[in-house]
């Protein structure tokens, strides 16, 4: 395991901290020239939250993060990252050796590092020409959001206290927890490529309100909504299996509530994993992987030389056909059932973050949740059977036991194919398929190949 290494690895972020509508920027003396202040934060964790904490701890400043600044040399080893931020308390005392400096007179000769000046110019360009679909690039966006949250809370018996914590920041994305006189509330806004989450979250909150946090208000211009705090503890924080069984049953109950509206969910942003949509994907997906497997840049050990691509393609197509013959109703599903986004309280669980929500065979979702269960709980057949029973008990009033068992067996292979082909399409659209990702897909193909024998047995 590499968990310990990840906990100690740090990323270095140089901060473009501005005040007075961006007219002044905080700089440090570096000999006769100037440089941006820098903080170090844990790698692979929430960037905005950690920058804000580090700035308060190391610089004594309270900030609101704006967005990351991309520079030409950012991919070079040891090169720092850049992030724009606004000072929430412009009169705060700045660190020793740091000064508020007018932006306008600064030139590349003002800086000891040319990249610092380039990052500042990139920030200025973004501020001068904000896009309509980037509401959080503006320096005063927090005032607008806070005012909207205040208005949204008027019908409710709670008010903002002024305290908040920012978790995500970008020109189009935002996640903030606002403290109130009662329980906290969460402001979430999303931009491309995940804008589908906005309409889908609202639709699911209406269809199955017991299994999503209550939506207090929404603002379509920002693809944003305000939600109640999810009570209870996250599934990732529990050691017992009772919460896992509650989560499995809650997932099934949520899905059964969406059966009548399943046909409308693709228009609401759900990914389409219905069988009629998956079947045309099979041949192109495996043809692409077969071609990729011949890439000379792949490590020799990662080339699946003995894999019969035609047989694998046929096995997946046959499994889809067999699943279709069972007439499983389509329902809402979730491709990313991260235990951190499942909160359990008593017998009820709520599910967050529907960016990977889909409509299709409901049992695919159970397979994704089952993988997390196996990682969290030591291999134990009786516990896994109880976990399965918690999920399938809610489906017995809709499907016969024989159908459930066959669908469960087929879903092991097909859920993996649905996940892999969906991820592949998303990466191909963004033209961002790098070597580690190609290796990952070939490993998934080998895993699917090992599953085909069981699928053939079910279809026989």
Element (H, E) at 365: helix 363-376
Name the CA radius of gyration of the chain, rounded: 25
Whether this prediction's pTM lies above 0.85 is answered by yes
- Judge residue 1's burial from the number of C-beta atoms within 10 Å of its C-beta, 0-12 exposed, 13-18 middle, 19 or more buried: exposed
pLDDT at 311: 93
- Domains defined along the chain, listed by start: 8-128 (3.90.79.10), 141-228 (3.30.200.20), 233-459 (3.90.1200.10)
Task: Give the span between the Cα atoms of 27 and 39, in whole angstroms.
Answer: 13
pLDDT at 293: 86
Residues found in the chain: 460
222, 135 Cβ separation under 8 angstroms: yes
- Judge residue 324's burial from the number of C-beta atoms within 10 Å of its C-beta, 0-12 exposed, 13-18 middle, 19 or more buried: middle
Give me the residues of the chain with pLDDT under 50, please: 1-7
Residues in a beta bridge with 86: 18, 64
Task: Give the span between the Cα atoms of 118 and 131, in whole angstroms.
Answer: 21
pLDDT at 74: 60
* DSSP one-letter string for 122-162: HHHHHHHS--TT-TTSSTTHHHHHHHHHHHHTTTSS--EEE
pLDDT at 295: 80
pLDDT at 6: 40
CA distances to 17, 78, 189, 281 from 83, in Å: 8, 16, 19, 39
CA distances to 291, 303, 413, 428 from 438, in Å: 11, 10, 20, 11
pLDDT at 298: 81
Element (H, E) at 324: helix 309-325
């Amino acid at each position: 395991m590499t968990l310990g290494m990840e906990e100690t690895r740090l990323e270095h972020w140089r901060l473009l901290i501005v005040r007075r509508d961006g007219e002044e920027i905080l700089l440090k003396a570096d000999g006769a020239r100037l440089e941006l202040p820098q903080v170090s934060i844990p790698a692979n964790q929430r960037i905005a939250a950690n920058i804000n904490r580090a700035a308060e701890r190391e610089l004594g400043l309270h900030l609101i993060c704006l967005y990351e600044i991309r520079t030409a040399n950012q991919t070079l080893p040891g090169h720092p990252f850049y992030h724009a931020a606004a000072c929430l308390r412009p009169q705060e005392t700045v660190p020793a050796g740091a000064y508020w400096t007018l932006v306008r007179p600064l030139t590349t000769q003002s800086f000891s590092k040319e990249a610092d000046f380039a990052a500042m110019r990139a920030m200025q360009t973004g501020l001068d020409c904000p896009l309509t679909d980037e509401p959080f690039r503006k320096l005063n966006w927090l005032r607008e959001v806070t005012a909207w949250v205040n208005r949204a809370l008027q019908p409710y018996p709670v008010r903002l206290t002024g305290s908040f914590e920012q978790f995500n920041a970008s020109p189009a994305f935002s996640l903030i927890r606002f403290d109130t006189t009662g329980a906290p509330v969460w402001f979430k806004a999303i931009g491309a490529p995940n804008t589908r989450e906005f309409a889908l979250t609202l639709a699911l909150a209406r269809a199955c309100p017991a299994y999503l946090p209550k939506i207090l208000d929404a603002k379509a211009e920002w693809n944003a909504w305000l939600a109640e705090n999810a009570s209870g503890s996250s599934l990732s924080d529990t050691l017992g299996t009772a919460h896992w069984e509650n989560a499995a049953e809650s997932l099934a109950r949520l899905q059964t509530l969406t059966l009548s509206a399943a046909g409308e969910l693709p228009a609401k942003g759900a990914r389409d994993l219905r069988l009629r949509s998956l079947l045309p994907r099979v041949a192109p997906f495996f043809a692409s992987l077969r071609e990729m497997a011949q890439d000379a840049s792949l490590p020799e050990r990662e080339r699946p030389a003995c894999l019969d691509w035609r047989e694998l393609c046929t096995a997946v197509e046959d499994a889809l056909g067999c699943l279709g013959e069972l007439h499983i109703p389509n329902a809402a599903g979730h491709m990313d059932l991260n235990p951190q986004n499942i909160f359990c309280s008593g017998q009820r669980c709520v599910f967050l973050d529907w960016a990977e929500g889909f409509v299709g065979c409901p049992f695919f979702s159970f397979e994704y949740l089952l993988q997390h269960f196996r990682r969290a709980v030591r291999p134990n057949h009786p516990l896994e059977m109880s976990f399965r029973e918690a999920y399938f008990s809610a489906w017995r009033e809709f499907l016969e036991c024989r159908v459930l068992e066959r669908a469960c067996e087929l879903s092991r292979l097909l859920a993996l194919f649905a996940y892999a082909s969906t991820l592949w399409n998303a990466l191909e659209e963004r033209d961002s398929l790098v070597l580690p990702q190609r290796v990952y897909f070939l490993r998934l193909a080998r895993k699917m190949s090992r599953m085909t024998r069981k699928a053939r047995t079910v279809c026989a």
